[in-house]
Amino acid sequence: MNAYLEILRPFNALMAVVAILLMAIISGQFTMDVFLAGAVVFIVTGAGNSINDYFDHKIDAINKPERPIPSGRIPLRTAGIYSSALFMVGIILAFLINTILGAIALLSSLMMMWYAYCLKRMLIVGNLAISFLTGLCFVFGGIVVDQIMVSIYLGFFAFLMTMAREIVKDMEDVKGDQAEGASTLPIVYGNVVSSKLAAFFMIIASLASPLLYIRGVFTWFYLIILIPAILIFLYGAVRVLKDQSVKNTRNVSKKIKMGMGVTFLAFAAGSPYLWSLLW
């Protein structure tokens, strides 16, 4: 993969775009603004991933030396310029849709920079910031299609799932984070406490997710697709409680990402608008 595409972590950026597409499916609106919003989210998320690698190049040299900057495929200064340019493009595109989305894109970009610079290394605060930004993607899409309340519901569950994954990722990255003097949850309170909190978020997300059907947001088909996701999250919770090794936390992190993908599929499959087209 080209280094300048790889540094954006395109899969993660596309996962953020899925939030916009899901809101379009739920509302039945597929306007040009929706596609522009998807482009904004991809570009800004990619810029956030890039600036994160810029500030974390020393940590990545220990934890993930194959990434574009520590591997030498992208010079550090070039990565900084590249990230800044992407942020500017994303913000301008957002303002072209409307002022509210432009302001959200601007503030989100500033938060991503702040996160990459120092929030990531602060106890829990960094986890909350990235989880909030993940949930905000749904709200961003909800504003575009005028489904704000539904987008807040979905954003809340995205927040819970992301919090679990962020804590597990911190457990995976303890060695590099310690070298940089970070104060993440596993470093301050240990992996056992961190595993319990990560499991808590996975279990709460699993138990609360059927509420979206009960509230009438989705059809019964949502529950059918949701079952595998719940099983994945509960399996991840059990695994991380039993084993906090780097190898296992890396595996659990992948399982959480898989569970999030299945959950997003359930959101789409349970859309009343989608079923109205089929029937």
Q: Residue 255: pLDDT band by 50, 70, 90 thresholds? A: very high
Q: What percent of the chain has pLDDT over 70?
A: 97
Q: Residue 103: pLDDT band by 50, 70, 90 thresholds? A: very high
pLDDT reading at 30 higher than 80: yes
Q: What is the pLDDT of residues 64-100, one digit of tens each?
A: 888 999 988 999 999 999 999 999 999 999 999 999 9
Burial of 119 (0-12, 13-18, 19+ CB in 10 A): middle
Q: What is the pLDDT of residues 193-217, one digit of tens each?
A: 999 999 999 999 999 888 888 888 8
Residue 114 sits in which domain range? 3-278
Say which CATH number the domain at 184 has: 1.10.357.140
**Mean local confidence (pLDDT), 243-258:** 91
The number of folded domains in the chain is 1
Best CA proximity match to 15, nearest among 41, 40, 33: 41
3-state secondary structure 195-263: HHHHHHHHHHHHHHCCHHHHCCCCCHHHHHHHHHHHHHHHHHHHHHHHCCCHHHHHHHHHHHHHHHHHH
Q: Which two tokens stand for residue 204?
A: 């709460």
Count Cα atoms within 13 angstroms, Cβ side, for 171: 30
Write the DSSP symbol of residue 73. Answer: S
Determine contact, residues 210/157, Cβ cutoff 8 Å.
no
Q: What is the pLDDT of residues 166-185, one digit of tens each?
A: 999 999 888 777 777 778 88
d(CA 226, CA 220): 10
Q: What is the pLDDT of residues 51-64, one digit of tens each?
A: 999 998 887 787 78
Best CA proximity match to 82, nearest among 14, 2, 7: 7
pLDDT of residue 61: 81
pLDDT reading at 267 higher than 80: yes
The pTM (predicted TM-score) of the whole model is: 0.87
